[in-house]
Structure 1
């Protein structure tokens, strides 16, 4: 029996950088597991043109079923629930299940905030520091999407503390939406303490409206460098495959 297919699911976006990042990340997943059928798909959004959600999730599922796949694991490409609509995923899978009786669908957990992502952040930040010719740092800001869920924001804060301990630098967590402090506020707070060499790491998967807003606020507040998002890094692909593996095991009859 063939292994379940993997569908990497992202939210539709007007920003072409999002689709490009998802495409590159899926290519990296395929490179790590060439034995798997791996597809990318986007959640449709009524507020966006249909072209922003291609290939759409339903079309990808239909194609996989036509190709003979009876089991599919959906892996949402999101670090937190604010980056993808949980209800939309549930509704989409229910629709697909009703259209294809007997199809086994499993939705994995989000990618989440894995400690291994700190290594990717370090790599991205080094690139930004080289580009900005910055050699000295006295504070760091970890910028994430933010959430109305206080526990989710606390998880970002814990990751920030872990990162700060590793680098022996003060670190503040900041958010692009839904929760204070905003990225610019976090940078200004450090500057108010007399720190002048503050860099910001972008804890996002792909570029988009939130990352642009976060970067703009950070630079206006005086940050010396802002990193690119995690992107299609091999470590991110490994986490995608780890989430897939759990979902695939859950499909096995007990």
Structure 2
């Protein structure tokens, strides 16, 4: 069964490059076709790529609207297609590593920055990621409140050095806004990382095994 990696989609070429880099990391671990599709913005969409039995793995940090509604709607009623859970909290160890790379120091006040969503489950995932990282607060770039710049300003007013953990998959407009949020340290996005590939491959094999057992 082929593996379809479903990304959000972005017009930023850096973000598109990250999608391809993640796919390349996955390809070296599996002996099946690995295709890239997008839930929004770019083509090919998931509908165009899912043309037979396959496992669709959403490369999203939470099960928001695109994961729960858009991707299943694009797939429709097709036999032999399985959609796994998103990357989600499996990205937390990578975020921790990105923080260290950015210069995070013990004693820094840690704040998680997420894109924001109108989906309660997506916001709950961001809060859980913050707990796992030991962050004291969560701020959002868009859609949800409080905004990350306000959270950073509040924490800095207490005389603390502030580090922002980027709960974002790839560079783009959202991550660019974090650079201007006033924090002392801002980590890079999750990006293409071996641990991301490992998580996606694991989801693929678990889903494929379930299909074979129930076939």
TM-score bracket, shorter-length normalisation: 0.7 to 0.9
1:154 Cα deviation after fit: 3.2
| Conservation of the 8 A alpha-carbon contact between 2:19 and 2:192 | yes
TM-score with structure 2 setting the length: 0.87
| Conservation of the 8 A alpha-carbon contact between 1:82 and 1:145 | no
2:21 is aligned with 1:28: no
| Conservation of the 8 A alpha-carbon contact between 2:54 and 2:80 | yes
1:188 Cα deviation after fit: 0.9
User: What does residue range 76-95 of structure 1 map to in structure 2 within 5 Å?
Assistant: 76-82=58-64, 84=66, 86-94=68-76
Q: 1:109 to 1:158 in 2, by over 3 A?
A: closer
- For residues 9 and 19 of structure 2, what CA distance do their matches in structure 1 show? 11
Indicate the structure (1 or 2) with the bigger Cα radius of gyration. Answer: 1
Q: Hey, what does 2:206 align to over in structure 1? A: 246
- For residues 246 and 135 of structure 1, what CA distance do their matches in structure 2 show? 37
- For residues 29 and 215 of structure 1, what CA distance do their matches in structure 2 show? 30
1:120 alignment partner, one of 94, 100, 115:
94
| Conservation of the 8 A alpha-carbon contact between 1:143 and 1:173 | yes
**SS of equivalent residue, structure 1 residue 73:** strand
Structure 1 consecutive aligned stretches of length 4 or more whose deviation exceeds 6 Å: none
- For residues 173 and 63 of structure 2, what CA distance do their matches in structure 1 show? 16
* Alignment: residue pair count: 214
- For residues 156 and 251 of structure 1, what CA distance do their matches in structure 2 show? 30
Q: 1:94 to 1:152 in 2, by over 3 A?
A: closer
| Conservation of the 8 A alpha-carbon contact between 2:5 and 2:36 | yes
User: What does residue range 56-75 of structure 1 map to in structure 2 within 5 Å?
Assistant: 56-62=45-51, 70-75=52-57
Q: 1:88 to 1:151 in 2, by over 3 A?
A: closer
1:155 Cα deviation after fit: 3.2
- For residues 59 and 46 of structure 2, what CA distance do their matches in structure 1 show? 13
- Which consecutive residues of structure 2, in runs of 5 or more, have no partner in the other structure? none
TM-score with structure 1 setting the length: 0.74
2:196 alignment partner, one of 233, 236, 242:
236
- For residues 174 and 224 of structure 1, what CA distance do their matches in structure 2 show? 15
- For residues 36 and 144 of structure 1, what CA distance do their matches in structure 2 show? 33
Q: CA RMSD in A?
A: 2.4
1:248 Cα deviation after fit: 1.4
- Which consecutive residues of structure 1, in runs of 5 or more, have no partner in the other structure? 46-51, 63-69, 98-102, 165-169
1:175-224 deviations in whole A, cap 9, x for unaligned?
A: 222322211111111112221x21111111112232223333x2xxx311
**SS of equivalent residue, structure 1 residue 32:** coil
- For residues 142 and 154 of structure 2, what CA distance do their matches in structure 1 show? 18
